[in-house]
Amino acid sequence: MDKTIEMNEKTVIAIDAMGGDNAPGEIVKGAAEATVESPVNVILVGDENRIKAILEKVEYRPEQLEIVHTDDMITMEDVPHEAIRRKPEASMILAAKLCSAGRAQGLVSAGNTGAYVLSASLNIPRIAGIRKTAIATVYPTRNAQKRKDHFSLLLDIGANIHCSAEDMVKFALMGKIYASDIKGIKDPTVALLNVGKESYKGGKILSRVYKILDELPGVNFIGNIEGNDVMRGLSDVVITEGYVGNIVTKTMEGIAETVSQLGRYAFKRRFLWRIGLIALSSGIRQLKELIDYSEYGGAPLLGFKEIVIKAHGRSKAKAITNAVKLAAKSHRDNICGRIEKEIAEFESLK
Amino acid sequence: MDKTIEMNEKTVIAIDAMGGDNAPGEIVKGAAEATVESPVNVILVGDENRIKAILEKVEYRPEQLEIVHTDDMITMEDVPHEAIRRKPEASMILAAKLCSAGRAQGLVSAGNTGAYVLSASLNIPRIAGIRKTAIATVYPTRNAQKRKDHFSLLLDIGANIHCSAEDMVKFALMGKIYASDIKGIKDPTVALLNVGKESYKGGKILSRVYKILDELPGVNFIGNIEGNDVMRGLSDVVITEGYVGNIVTKTMEGIAETVSQLGRYAFKRRFLWRIGLIALSSGIRQLKELIDYSEYGGAPLLGFKEIVIKAHGRSKAKAITNAVKLAAKSHRDNICGRIEKEIAEFESLK
């Protein structure tokens, strides 16, 4: 009986309509499409006139869509801590407040990452025992573990710069819960990104993280992995501090960009190479689909009591639709509650 | 007059004949070839009988080659600090001692990196003012600066894990001298690898490095670059701490490996894809040559009073020949003396 009620009561996702390189157009279109494709309610926060003008041209379910107006917004160029202070009515901040007020159960923005982390931190309570939140990204791998999918989860990729050993252990616990949900496996493997395989590597903090995880029941810890193992998919979850995670993720993006430029160069350079690229085009298309971030729906910011999803700054409508659906699914699967329980169990062992 | 004498007196390079995945065979062959290709003297340190047996099958100049025998060696699997203590007569350590005794002016090994850094640190004096040495790697880029070559220099990639802001500033000074020599440009650009462009990014140490470099005359500092800029070649020199440099470099290696595996997969999968790869093969070969580490001759370990070159563990003869030639050239170009002068100037500003 309770379950039926829960299923009929739709999850509400608050969306920063003004954040991201393609806002508000692609954000509003993506949110509108989410109401058509799934039983989710969305609240679009931003310039009401602009939002309405965009909605006029697309299909959506009016009964599932609400607009909360504000004139202010934080841009990609704003300095996060200054913008948060100077623009208390910014769309990103108001959207976070809808979560803390209980009007929404999830948050999505494609805007300024630093400002988004700050505005979530200032407005949405953290789970007890979590001192540092973490941005987790799903990335494609060579699937060395032969899972049904070929994705791994890397966190933190930049919610914070540095953190303590215990913070990183909690990244492992949060990552484990999230990965077990999205990959549909019970006991995901967890690895620590380090400069060598041996337990003593990487200095005091990393060797302490190794020791704690190695002795922790309930975590399927496989030890350290190195940079060249990241893409191999040796582990379902890879943990690191935000400083390294950010640089590694962006290095991977940079290399993808380089490969695609090389392709364009080769296409122009020689007739034979052009023929080769045309023959390979269906393979290249399959590969692009495989590594297209818009399919994954964005990166969760883990450690809050509500679902917080960061969509890529370059997100188009499809990526936003997926981010909204991901937020709603994560709420239905009670990710935050399950993380809360996991952290409480860890704390009780101390 | 002095100059003539210097040019006639050959540079002597001490080589750890027993270090690396393909030792001693490929190491000895590479060293032998170096005596044929260039006016360099080499001392091969290792098992004399094995070395002689290999030399019997290759061409070399006997008057330029000497063998120093030892039974002991450090393997890739040895734990560095234990091996250094337990094997004082290891080939790697004796080779370093030849440098400190003045019998050689440069050192080359393809062996265990950690043990190599330690054995150099324990036996070869550091330049005054250098607290942390740095491994510098040359890597191919998209050459955004439109230089004659398309390489940049990244350091430290793993001589140390963490370091102070001043250590990193000295990495910039050392990298500047080395890059200006190998690239043949007067004023190489220097950038700091960070999580964002802004000067305040990356925590206390990185923002302090930014401030010092930004105010330092004589360093062409262009500010922070992010992970996705690494491959673009925005800067001739990129500085980072060993922890991040190691993980980024290995991530790049891992991606190269993934791309080549994808190629093999595509070749087997469909006839059309096979045709495509064959049509592209000359391009792929050119690309492989471009990113082949054996062409670069290895990574210098900067901060010592003598030239110390780390060749890749997988080095074959050609890579060793290039490493020996690089060591000799670096000595002729007085890299260590120029770094010493640069550091002394920086210290005098304090």
Is B282 close to A272, i.e. CB distance below 8 A? yes
Q: What is the pLDDT of residues B226-270, one digit of tens each?
A: 998 988 889 999 999 999 999 999 888 877 777 777 777 777 777
The structure tokens listed for B194 are 């960070």
What six digits make up the tokens of B144? 């955004």
Tokens of B273: 């894809």
CA triple B183-B185-B186, angle to 5 deg: 140
ipTM of the complex: 0.82
Lookup result for tokens 């689909």:
A289
pLDDT higher than 80, residue B285: no
**Count of CA atoms in the C-beta half-sphere (13 A) of A184:** 5
Residues of chain B with Cβ-Cβ distance to A266 below 8 Å are 280, 283
Q: Do residues B51 and B63 make contact, with C-beta atoms less than 8 angstroms apart? A: no
At B293 the pLDDT is: 57
pLDDT value for B19: 96
The C-alpha atoms of residue B45 and residue B160 are separated, in whole angstroms, by: 26
Q: Is B263 on the interface with A (CB under 8 A)?
A: no
Nearest 5°: CA angle at B95, between B92 and B96?
A: 90
Tell me which DSSP letter residue B228 carries.
G
Q: Give residue B335's identity as a one-letter amino acid code.
A: I
- Cα B56 to Cα A227, B24, B46, B50, B51: the distances in Å are 40, 14, 16, 10, 9
User: B276, A273: Cβ pair inside 8 Å?
Assistant: no
The residue count of chain B comes to 350
DSSP bridge pairs for B45:
B16, B68
pLDDT over 50 (residue A8): no
pLDDT digits (tens, 9 = 90+) for A305-326: 999 999 989 899 999 999 999 9
- Among A248, A197, A250, residue whose Cα is nearest residue A226: A197
Chain segment A145-181, per-residue pLDDT in tens: 887 777 899 999 999 999 999 999 999 999 999 999 9
C-alpha B96/C-alpha B74 separation (Å) is: 13
Are B250 and A243 within 8 A, CB to CB? no
Contacts of B278 in chain A (CB under 8 A): 276
Task: Please say whether the beta carbons of B17 and B31 come within 8 A.
Answer: yes
A279 to chain B: which residues are within 8 Å by CB? 272-273, 275-276, 279
pLDDT in tens, B182-192: 888 899 999 99
Q: Which residues, numbered 291 to 350 in chain B, qualify as contacts with chain A under a Cβ-Cβ cut-off of 8 Å?
A: none
DSSP conformation letters of A84-114: HHH-TT-HHHHHHHHHHTTS-SEEEE-S-HH
Candidates B178, B177, B169, B175; CA nearest to B214 is B169
Contact A253 B198 (CB under 8 A): no
Q: Residue A79: closest CA among chain B residues belongs to which residue? A: B198
Burial of B135 (0-12, 13-18, 19+ CB in 10 A): buried
Rounded distance, CA A20 to CA A76, Å?
Answer: 7
Structural domains in chain A, sorted by start? 1-130+303-334 (3.40.718.10), 134-293 (3.40.718.10)
Phi, psi of B104 (to 5 degrees): -135, 155
Tokens of B61: 């100049």
